[in-house]
């Protein structure tokens, strides 16, 4: 924060960068921090780091003798700690130099992981709510150290003076802010208390809050420096829920679920305990009771050393884990400067892998021994699990048999379906499934709708875990082969009609066949696949463009175009009448009308030529009916 006098520096001499503190604070507030409220988090975090450093100096001291006291009475906000404190030299080096941090100094590089801060900018966040930061500190490193007072101002100026040790009888630091009038939203006593609870409820050091009214556990007045704050109300009266002891495992899981509900606002379907001793991580994963859109990632709550750093950290779990939200407290995860994300390093990668493993183990346990939980889980999250199973062999093996699919036997699990159908047929689109489902099922075929994301791919992998089952794509030929042929005599009688029908429908590359199938009420079935339609469109374009550049390109791409098939149902009374028509024009029109009706039933978008065919055949039939009547 020092601003050297540029004019006094001789020409050619090395100059020092100057910092426009207002500009810097502006940058932090608009681009680094999500809200001015983070000032309290930064103050608490500095106090926690100072307590950690003090514990390094006095490892034998009882756990609760050093603490943090907050005070806010509407005119000041004060955070006082029994931490390591600062000497006068420390104040110049660390407080007054932006970007310098005692937690990154060389001699403690190996301990850097012990501290939450490291960038040397956190204190600047206080300028989001106040124009001046007042620090009164006394170092614990030298027993007879003098107290030191520092005042830093938003314009970049600061003053330092030393005071007799009696000005701060015990080692530690007190930071006092006089909030600007427009920042009441973040600095009113009730708000400071709420923020302290929010950020500090899991801190392991005793933290108290006092609003200066002397009520409800509060005591002491706003006056002066150290040690006058009184006992105050505890901000973190209880340890983290996973660190408490409970009379029974049931009581423990109910308490963890209630904590999860309090934090996230939903009643978890189940609560998974997380414990990774290698990185000192503990916490819970709450399984969401309802489906979330695939791919939507939730933020997780990450505490470091008890301090809430981020509510939106996505990085601690892999992308597929979008069915849980976690609260974790870790010793050695490193936050970024904004604290709202985690630094992507080997530790974070290892944590992510280990937590993913934990979720897999939970799924495996549910699959093996808790069918009721598994069913509720899959009901809400089957889509998430399907996306997971595509890439994860273990999940596939555990869960594929239990996943629901749309089949010709209704919505059922693959396991159930494969028990009645040793050959499982799968369509490649929803539309194909809609076309064939009723008829295939009447013909005794077992078909799964493979049109939804992941489904076809997953069904094809069923033989990996059920070797007795075979899976094949359902193509028109397979279906036609399963429909009963008509006897020779009927076939012969229909030859002329079928020839006329083929001729009428040649423009659609459509073959016509006569079969018997259930339900008898269905006159005709149009069997056609999307790929076949695309192939025919391409071939047709190539023909139209013959000789041109596009014609050559499309022609080169041309494959043997599979033909559509209109299968007429000999069991249907209308079809039986139609195949007996002698009059060529009427026969042609009836074939067109049957094609049009089957195309409509297939629920796929109609091509313009098909729409005009339906139109024309309807009008022709109407004209024919009217002529007959007159
Ligand atoms: N309560 C405190 N007790 C002792 N030293 C403190 C306290 N608050 C701040 N300091 C000193 O001031 C330095 C700068 O603090 P600041 O919050 O700006 O950065 P930091 O905590 O080091 O890193 P970060 O920007 O990541 O928070 C700290 O490194 C520390 O040396």
Rounded CA-CA distance 59/111 in Å is 15
Q: Is residue 170 part of a domain?
A: yes
Q: What percent of the chain shows pLDDT beyond 70?
A: 87
Asked if the structure places residue 542 within a domain, the reply is no
Check if the beta carbon of residue 545 is closer than 8 Å to that of residue 554. Answer: yes
Distance CA 179, CA 126 (A): 9
Read off the pLDDT band of 557 (50, 70, 90): low
Give the whole-angstrom CA distance, residue 80 versus residue 232.
Answer: 12
Residue 107 gets the label, from left (phi > 0), alpha (psi -120 to 50) or beta, of: alpha
Select from 327, 359, 374 the last residue of a domain: 374
More confident residue, 221 or 344: 344
Paired with 207 in beta bridges are: 68
pLDDT at 1: 46
pLDDT digits (tens, 9 = 90+) for 37-48: 999 999 999 999
Q: pLDDT: is 110 or 583 the higher one?
A: 583
Ligand 1: centre distance to CA 82 (Å): 14
Most confident range (mean pLDDT) of 101-110, 239-248, 552-561 is: 239-248
Please state the rounded mean pLDDT for residues 420-427.
Answer: 93
Give dist(CA 154, CA 558) in Å, integer. Answer: 73
- CATH, residue 40: 3.30.565.10
Q: Whose CA is nearest to atom 6 of ligand 1?
A: 46
Per-residue model confidence as pLDDT tens digits over 246-280:
999 999 999 999 999 999 999 999 999 999 998 89
Q: Single out the residue of 155, 100, 149 nearest to residue 122, CA to CA.
A: 100
Q: Is the distance from the beta carbon of residue 381 to the nearest atom of ligand 1 less than 6 Å?
A: no
Q: Given pLDDT bands bounded at 50, 70 and 90, which one contains residue 519?
A: confident
pLDDT of the residue at 535: 67
Residues 452 and 584 grouped into a single domain: no
Determine the distance separating the centroid of ligand 1 and the alpha carbon of 208, expressed in angstroms. 21
With a 6 Å cutoff on the Cβ, whether 41 touches ligand 1 is no
Q: Are residues 150 and 41 in the same domain?
A: yes
CATH at residue 326: 3.30.230.80
What number of other Cβ atoms are within 10 A of residue 504's Cβ? 21
| pLDDT over threshold 60, residue 2 | no
Q: What is the rounded distance in angstroms from the CA atom of residue 367 to the CA atom of residue 402?
A: 8
- My answer on whether omega of the bond before 131 falls inside 30° of 0, hence cis, is no
DSSP assignment of 286-317: EEPSS---TT----EEEEETTEEEEEEE-TTS
Is 46 touching ligand 1 by the criterion CB < 6 Å? yes
Q: Is residue 14 in some structural domain?
A: no
The domain that holds 623 is classified in CATH as: 1.20.120.790
Assess whether the C-beta atom of 47 lies below 6 angstroms from ligand 1.
yes
Token pair recorded at residue 453: 């994301």
Residue 95 vs residues 50, 51, 610: alpha-carbon distances, Å: 13, 17, 79
Q: Cα separation of 502 and 498, whole Å?
A: 6
Residue 253 lies in a domain: yes
Joined together, the tokens standing for residue 181 give: 């009038």
| pLDDT reported for residue 388 | 83
Query: Residue 5 pLDDT more than 60?
Result: no
Q: Indicate whether 446 and 476 sit together in one domain.
A: yes
pLDDT tier, 424 (very low <50, low <70, confident <90, very high otherwise): very high
* Domain containing residue 442: CATH number: 3.40.50.11260
Total domain count, the chain: 4
Are 424 and 459 in contact, with CB atoms under 8 Å apart?
A: yes
77, 92, 100, 123: which to mutate for ligand 1, most atoms within 8 A of CB? 123
Q: For ligand 1, is residue 173 a contact (CB within 6 Å)?
A: yes
Q: ipTM greater than 0.90, yes or no? A: yes
Q: Given a cut of 80, is residue 113 above it in pLDDT?
A: no
Question: To test the ligand 1 pocket, which listed residue (101, 336, 337) has its Cβ within 8 A of the most ligand atoms?
Answer: 101
Helix (H, G, I), strand (E, B) or coil at 184: helix
Tell me if 123 CB under 6 Å of ligand 1. Answer: yes
Residues ≥6 apart with Cβ < 8 Å to 203:
44, 48, 68, 235, 236, 305, 306, 307
pLDDT tens-digit map of 388-423: 888 888 889 888 988 999 999 999 999 899 999 999
Taking alpha carbons only, the member of 130, 125, 108, 169 closest to residue 34 is 125
CB 334 near ligand 1, within 6 Å = no
Structural domain contains residue 612: yes
CB 122 within 8 A of CB 115: no
pLDDT band at 154 (very low <50, low <70, confident <90, very high): confident
Least trusted range by pLDDT, from 226-240, 262-276, 534-548: 534-548
pLDDT, mean over the chain:
86
103 and 132 in a single domain? The answer is yes
Are 225 and 364 within one domain? Answer: no
Tell me: do 370 and 450 sit in the same domain: no
pLDDT at 230: 47
Mean pLDDT of 378-391: 88
Q: Looking at the structure, do residues 64 and 174 belong to the same domain, yes or no?
A: yes
Instruction: Check if 83 has its Cβ closer than 6 Å to any atom of ligand 1.
Output: yes
Measured in angstroms, how far is the CA atom of residue 170 from the centroid of ligand 1? 19
Tokens describing residue 622: 């109407």
Find out whether 381 and 323 touch, Cβ atoms under 8 Å: yes
Residues comprising the chain, all counted: 630
Predicted pLDDT at 225? 35
Any idea which of 158-162, 514-518, 527-531 has the lowest mean pLDDT? 527-531
Write down the pLDDT at residue 209.
96
CB-count burial class (<10 Å; 0-12, 13-18, 19+) for 459: buried
The answer to whether residue 379 is domain-embedded is no
Q: Give the pLDDT mean for 508-531.
A: 86
Within-domain flag for 155: yes
Do 161 and 281 have their domain in common?
A: no
Q: 69 has which bridge partners?
A: 80, 208
- Does residue 379 surpass a pLDDT of 50? yes
550 inside domain: no
* 585 and 500 co-located in one domain: yes
534-539's contacts with Cβ under 8 Å and 24+ in sequence apart are: 535/559, 535/561, 535/562, 536/509, 536/561, 536/563, 536/564
- With bands split at pLDDT 50, 70 and 90, how would you rate the model's confidence at 182? very high
Lowest mean pLDDT among 21-30, 151-160, 267-276, 531-540: 531-540
Amino acid 545: pLDDT: 64
Q: Examine the domain organization and report whether 454 and 357 are in the same domain.
A: no
Angle, helix 608-629 to helix 584-601, in steps of 10 degrees: 130
Q: Is the pLDDT of residue 448 over 90?
A: yes
Same domain for 448 and 350: no
Tokens 């006159």, located at residue: 523
Ligand 1 neighbourhood includes 119 CB (under 6 angstroms): yes
Residue 95 Cβ contacting ligand 1 at under 6 Å = yes
Mean pLDDT of 539-548: 66
Question: Element (H or E) spanning 35, and its range?
Answer: none
Residues 302 and 438 in one domain: no
Instruction: Measure the CA–CA gap between 129 and 135, rounded to whole angstroms.
Output: 16
Tell whether ligand 1 has an atom less than 6 A from the beta carbon of residue 80: no
Q: Which two tokens stand for residue 408?
A: 């010709």
Q: Both tokens of residue 119?
A: 């960038």
**Distance between Cα 95 and ligand 1 center (Å):** 7
Statement: residue 24 has pLDDT above 90? no
Which pLDDT score, from 0 to 100, does residue 226 have? 36
Tell me the pLDDT tens digit for each residue of 47-84: 999 999 999 899 888 878 899 999 999 999 999 999 99
Q: Give me the domain span that covers residue 105.
A: 21-234
Longest dimension (CA), the chain: 122
List the one residue out of 230, 255, 225 whose CA is nearest residue 240.
255
Is the pLDDT reported for residue 527 higher than 90?
no
Name the CA dihedral angle for 211, 124, 48, 44, rounded to a multiple of 10 degrees. Answer: 30
């Amino acid at each position: 924060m020092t601003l050297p006098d540029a004019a006094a520096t001789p020409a050619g001499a090395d100059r020092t960068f100057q910092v426009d503190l207002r500009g810097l604070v502006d940058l932090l507030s608009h681009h680094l921090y999500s809200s001015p409220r983070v000032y309290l988090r930064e103050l608490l975090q500095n106090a926690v780091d100072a307590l950690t450093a003090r514990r390094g100096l006095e490892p034998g001291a009882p756990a609760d003798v050093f603490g943090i006291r907050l005070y806010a009475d509407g005119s000041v906000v004060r955070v006082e700690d029994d931490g390591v404190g600062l000497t006068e030299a420390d104040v110049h080096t660390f407080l007054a130099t932006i970007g310098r941090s005692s937690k990154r100094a060389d001699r403690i590089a190996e301990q850097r992981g012990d501290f939450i801060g490291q960038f040397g900018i956190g204190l600047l966040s206080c300028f989001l709510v106040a124009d001046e930061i007042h620090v009164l500190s006394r170092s614990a490193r030298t027993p007879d150290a003098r107290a030191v007072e520092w005042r830093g101002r938003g314009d970049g100026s600061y003053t330092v003076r030393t005071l007799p040790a009696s000005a701060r009888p015990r080692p530690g630091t007190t930071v006092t802010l006089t909030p600007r009038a427009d920042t009441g939203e973040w600095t009113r006593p009730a708000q400071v208390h709420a923020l302290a609870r929010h950020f500090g409820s899991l801190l392991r050091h005793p933290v108290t809050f006092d609003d200066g009214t002397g009520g409800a556990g509060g005591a002491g007045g706003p006056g002066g420096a150290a040690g006058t704050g009184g006992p105050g109300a505890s901000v973190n009266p209880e340890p983290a829920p996973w660190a408490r002891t409970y009379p029974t495992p049931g009581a423990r899981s109910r308490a963890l679920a209630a904590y999860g509900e309090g934090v996230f606002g939903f009643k978890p379907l189940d609560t998974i305990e997380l414990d990774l001793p290698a990185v000192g991580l503990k916490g819970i994963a709450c399984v969401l009771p309802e489906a979330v859109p695939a791919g939507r990632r939730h933020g997780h709550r990450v505490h470091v050393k008890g301090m809430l750093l981020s509510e939106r950290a996505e990085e601690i779990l892999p992308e597929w884990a979008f069915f849980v939200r976690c609260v974790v407290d870790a010793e050695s995860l490193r936050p970024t400067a904004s604290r709202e994300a985690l630094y992507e390093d080997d530790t974070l990668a290892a944590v992510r892998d280990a937590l993913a493993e934990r979720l897999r183990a939970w799924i495996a346990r549910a699959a093996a021994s808790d069918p009721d939980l598994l069913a509720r889980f899959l009901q809400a999250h089957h889509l998430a699990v399907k996306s997971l199973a595509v890439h994860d062999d273990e999940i596939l093996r555990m869960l594929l048999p239990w996943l629901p699919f749309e089949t010709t036997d209704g919505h059922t699990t693959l396991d159930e379906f494969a028990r009645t159908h040793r050959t499982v047929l799968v369509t490649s689109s929803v539309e194909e499934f809609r076309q064939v489902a009723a008829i295939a099922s009447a013909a005794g075929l077992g078909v799964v709708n493979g049109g939804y994301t992941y489904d076809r791919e997953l069904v094809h992998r069923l033989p990996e875990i059920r070797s007795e089952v075979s899976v094949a794509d359902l193509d028109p030929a397979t279906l036609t082969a399963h429909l009963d042929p008509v006897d020779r005599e009927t076939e012969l009688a229909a030859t002329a009609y079928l020839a006329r029908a083929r001729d009428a429908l040649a423009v659609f590359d459509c073959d016509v066949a006569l079969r018997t199938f259930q339900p008898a009420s269905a006159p005709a079935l149009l069997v056609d696949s999307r790929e076949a339609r695309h192939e025919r469109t391409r071939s047709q374009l190539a023909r139209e463009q013959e000789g041109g550049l596009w014609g050559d390109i499309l022609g080169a791409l041309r494959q043997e175009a599979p033909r559509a098939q209109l299968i007429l149902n000999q069991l249907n009374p209308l079809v039986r009448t139609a195949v007996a028509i002698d009059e060529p024009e009427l026969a042609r029109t009836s074939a067109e009308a049957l094609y049009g009706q089957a195309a409509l039933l297939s629920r796929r978008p109609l091509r313009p030529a098909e729409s005009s065919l339906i139109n024309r055949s309807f009008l022709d039939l109407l004209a024919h009916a009217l002529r007959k009547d007159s």
